[in-house]
Structure 1
Amino acid sequence: MTTIDTATLRDWQRRHREFTLVDTLPAETFTKGHLPGAINIVSDDILDEAPRRLPDRQATIVVYCTSEDCKRAGRAAERLARLGYTAVYHYVGGKKAWLAEGLTLEH
């Protein structure tokens, strides 16, 4: 699994690189605040939801959750790889690292 850090994610956003940002936390947590532009697919639902919501298996996908200690995004990345997605990145720092850089969440 390939990881990505905050600086790289911000660079991709600034350069308008095409990717889908996926928050893997429960819907109620997503509603309270998520990274700008993210969609919500709960990690436990990724096997069922990904084929419909992420139809291009060659598209770049970045998954994240709360922090380095959160295992949801890592599990989601592994599941996406098993489904045949070829460009999956795990933003390991998640929301905690994002906020630590002074960046804001969408609500």
Structure 2
Amino acid sequence: MDRIIREDLIALRQTGTVQLVEALLADAFAAEHIPGARNVPGQVSAELAAQVAPDRAATVVLYCSGPYCNRSKMAAAAFARLGYADVRVYAGGKQDWAEAGLAFEGNRAPAPAAGAGRPE
């Protein structure tokens, strides 16, 4: 499977031809994920793969928390075994996305403003 860097992922997302999949537990996905991503929280079955990435001919990009996380690589290998034609791994994952200052979707509350919550 091929790797993809952030800049290429952004360009690919703009074409609308990518199926973006986060390979982290459901709680981590709910807290924050790259906009438009779907979630595969564990083992990838044929049924789950078809739900999150129905087009086997489209590019499927998997990511997880960062370069030291292997969940995206394991999930990508499962997608490839299931016959997906173009499977890539965004190894930088959430860490790289955040370091670039890019937005996430999810239910994580924003951090309080500097000085907020301190008694006067």
Conserved in 1, the CA contact under 8 Å of 2:6 and 2:90?
yes
1:54: which partner in 2?
53
Q: For residues 36 and 54 of structure 1, what CA distance do their matches in structure 2 show?
A: 15
From 42, 45, 52, the counterpart of 2:43: 45
Query: What is the TM-score normalised by the length of structure 2?
Result: 0.81
Structure 1, unaligned runs of 5 or more: none
> What is the alpha-carbon distance in structure 2 between the residues aligned to residue 6 and residue 27 of structure 1?
23
Structure 1-normalised TM-score?
A: 0.90
Q: In structure 1, what is the Cα distance between the partners aligned to 2:35 and 2:19?
A: 11
1:36 alignment counterpart: 35
Overall identity of the aligned pairs, in %: 38
Question: AA paired with 2:30?
Answer: T
Tell me how far 1:45 sits from its aligned partner: 2.7
Give SS of 1:62's match: strand
Q: Measured at CA, do residues 38 and 2 of structure 1 come closer, stay the same or move farther in structure 2, by a change above 3 Å?
A: same
Alignment correspondent of 2:118: none
Bigger mean CA offset, 50-59 vs 17-26: 50-59
* More helix, by proportion: 1
1:12 counterpart = 2:12: yes
Number of residue pairs matched?
105
Residue 15 of structure 2: SS of its match in structure 1? coil
User: Which segments of 5 or more consecutive residues in structure 2 lack a partner in the other structure?
Assistant: 107-120
Once the two structures are TM-superposed, the CA of residue 22 in structure 1 deviates from its matched residue by 0.3
Aligned letter for 2:12? Answer: W
Q: CA RMSD in A?
A: 1.3
Separation in 1, partners of 2:31, 2:52: 22
Displacement of 1:60 in angstroms is 1.1
Shift of 1:82: 0.7
Report runs of 4+ in structure 1 exceeding 2 Å deviation. Answer: 51-56
